[in-house]
Amino acid sequence: IGKGFAIGSAALVSLALYGAFVVRLKGLDVDVDLSGVNIMEPVTFAFVLIGAMNPYWFAALTMKSVGKAAGEMVEEVKRQFALTDSQGLSILTGSTEIKPDYDRCIAISTKSSLREMVGPGALVICSPLIAGTLFGVQAVFGLLTGSLVSAVQLAISMSNSGGAWDNCKKYIKGCYSEDPELRFMKQPQTEQDRVSAARAREVHDAAVQGDTVGD
């Protein structure tokens, strides 16, 4: 529900900004028909297609950034786990001399979030500026129209997909299925569950990974 409200509010804000753009044009001396967007104009139609691709480009950049930041975090955790003290103990084996460096992990996440959003932010800011400067107002009409429609559809699709993967994990952990291979239990109760425990663990691990991607 929360994601739905966020998507709806973002769509309305985008529409309001679109209206502000049109109102602003009415106050300028431009030779443009402001009664509607005519997609039969070649430039407008071309930029409707380009605008429809922009949200997918944005999503790809952000997902790639998340993967890169997660990789850096994993490498840092592996480095800390590999450290040993004077007695040859590591964090995992109960070392009292080595403490987890949480600040370093937080710094990696914070720096990555700022650094990796430069590209997606530049895409959002620069695309209408380049379209308007080089191809005119009709190009901006097409770009904004395509981006708005495509972004709403993509947001709803990704939200529902993520929710489905999350529910899949809950379905397996909650043991709601009649199939023992889809019932994950830390302590199997019946003989059938004990036989299927290995397969159920594999299914559960796959569902956890799917839930992570969905988030």
* C-alpha–C-alpha distance, residues 11 and 148, integer Å: 7
* C-alpha–C-alpha distance, residues 73 and 67, integer Å: 10
Tell me the whole-structure pTM to 2 decimals.
0.75
- Residue 52 CB neighbour total at 10 angstroms: 20
pLDDT tens for the chain, 215 residues long, are 777 888 888 888 888 888 887 777 776 666 666 666 777 888 989 999 999 999 999 999 988 888 888 888 889 999 988 888 888 888 888 888 888 888 998 998 899 888 888 999 999 999 999 998 999 888 888 998 899 889 988 888 888 888 888 888 888 887 777 777 777 777 777 777 677 777 778 887 888 887 777 76
Q: Is the dihedral of CA 43, 46, 52, 56 positive or negative?
A: negative
Phi, psi torsion values for 94, nearest 5 degrees: 90, 30
